[in-house]
Amino acid sequence: MTIKLTVSSMVCDACANSVTKAIHTVDSDATVNIDLNTKVVTVEATASESALRAAIAKAGHTTES
Ligand SMILES: [Cu+2]
């Protein structure tokens, strides 16, 4: 399942890395693609969207609805 999330708090590669790590804590096999310009995170994962959002929030980042 492909899930697209907008993570407005990402500003640099370090942010992108922590978001990627957060996603991998809920689904270690997830494929994560991040576009820092649009702040869109595309995730190919079996985890639910709400689980991904919760993990990203835990890492200190903000997802938009
Ligand atoms: Cu950053």
Ligand 1 center–CA 11 separation, angstroms? 5
Cα-to-centroid distance, 50 and ligand 1 (Å)? 23
Could you give the domains of the chain?
A: 2-64 (3.30.70.100)
Position 40 scores a pLDDT of 98
Q: DSSP 3-state helix, strand, coil percentages of the chain (rounded to 5)?
A: 35, 30, 35
End-to-end CA distance of the chain: 18
Give the H/E segment covering residue 43: strand 40-44
pLDDT (tens, 9 = 90+) of the chain, 65 residues, equals: 999 999 999 999 999 999 999 999 999 999 999 999 999 999 999 999 999 999 999 999 999 98
- How many angstroms is it from 23 CA to the middle of ligand 1? 16
* 63 within 8 A of 48, measured Cβ to Cβ: no
pLDDT value of position 49:
97
The pLDDT of residue 65 = 80
Instruction: Give the residue from 12, 25, 19 showing the smallest Cα distance to 61.
Output: 19
CA of 44 to the centre of ligand 1 (A): 22
